[in-house]
Structure 1
Amino acid sequence: MPDSAQFNQAGAHHLPGYLGIVITHVDGAEVHAELPVRTELMAPNGFLHAGSVVTLADTCAGYGCLANLPEGAVGFTTVELKSNHLGTAREGTVACVARAVHLGRTTQVWDATVTHKDSGKTMALFRCTQMVLYAK
């Protein structure tokens, strides 16, 4: 199973690294990450862009899926995601915890909760379904 350093290295030159997402913990069916809030991640209204929050949650769920692929699987693709945004941020660090709900041979379902690290306030709830891919 890949650890947090391996996921951070793999994402360094892709969207997770570009946004500043840092995977802090990988343990079986749970992944933790953080994202420091900065100007480039804001919407023009001065609040954290919803896309930044969704990318954080989707990255955690995706890395969780990779860490839990069944034997013979070569990857996955996201087939559905849903987010409920309950709050936002202007500064600080946003944290995410993703947990597996279903780890099947053909699909996985992950739930993620995004919070403001300093206040502990829940900012978003997220559910993602991934289709597990196999080579022909």
Structure 2
Amino acid sequence: MKELLHNTLMELLGMEVIEATPDKVVMTMPVDARTHQPMGLLHGGASVALAESAASLGSLLNVNTDEKTAVGLEINANHIRSARDGIVTAVATPVHRGATTLVWDIRITNERDQLICISRCTVAIIARKAKSESNSRK
């Protein structure tokens, strides 16, 4: 899994995959200068990035990646509680697994298991393009 995160936003924000199955993805992210907003609190966008990362990874585990890939289609988030430091943990579980979309429920908690953010993410399943085809469009 580490190589999947290499040179990505997930690596930059310090996200780590703790568990990854088609039925559940658990990821962590530090609350520090990389993920703070100017007031020193966890940035809502960082929470959304963690939520979508967990949902996208889970979606990839639900498809034949030789033929298909998963891309975020829609995400919403309710920020329930703030955090200034420590580690937050996202637990993503699928609520719908269709042929062209997956919908995920993601709950982000702090180290005291207090709810920080609740999110719902819809991921589209699309045909994987050959690398030579996608590079020819650039």
TM > 0.5? yes
Which aligned runs of 4 or more in structure 1 are off by greater than 6 angstroms? none
CA 1:39/1:69 → structure 2, altered by over 3 Å: closer, same or farther?
same
RMSD: 1.5
> How far 1:12 moved relative to its partner?
1.8
Partners of 2:38 and 2:128 in 1: CA distance:
43
What are the superposed Cα offsets for residues 70-89 of structure 1, whole Å, 9 maximum, x if unpaired?
Answer: 58742122111110110111
Question: Which one of the candidate residues 27, 38, 43 is aligned to 1:44?
Answer: 38
User: Which position in structure 1 is the counterpart of 2:71?
Assistant: 77
TM-score by length of 2: 0.87
User: Partner letter of residue 26 of structure 1?
Assistant: A
| Contact 2:22 2:59 (C-alpha < 8 Å) held by counterparts | no
User: Which position in structure 2 is the counterpart of 1:126?
Assistant: 119
TM-score by length of 1: 0.88
Q: Where in structure 1 are there 5+ consecutive unaligned residues?
A: 1-5
Identity of aligned residues (%): 31
Question: Which one of the candidate residues 73, 92, 99 is aligned to 1:98?
Answer: 92
Partners of 2:65 and 2:43 in 1: CA distance:
37
User: Which position in structure 2 is the counterpart of 1:3?
Assistant: none
CA 1:91/1:71 → structure 2, altered by over 3 Å: closer, same or farther?
closer
| Contact 1:99 1:112 (C-alpha < 8 Å) held by counterparts | yes
What are the superposed Cα offsets for residues 79-103 of structure 1, whole Å, 9 maximum, x if unpaired?
Answer: 1111011011101100010001111
| Contact 2:76 2:121 (C-alpha < 8 Å) held by counterparts | yes
Q: Secondary structure at the match of 2:34?
A: helix
What are the superposed Cα offsets for residues 27-85 of structure 1, whole Å, 9 maximum, x if unpaired?
Answer: 22100011111112110011111111111111000000001015874212211111011
User: Which position in structure 2 is the counterpart of 1:53?
Assistant: 47
Paired residues in the alignment total 129
User: Which position in structure 1 is the counterpart of 2:134?
Assistant: none
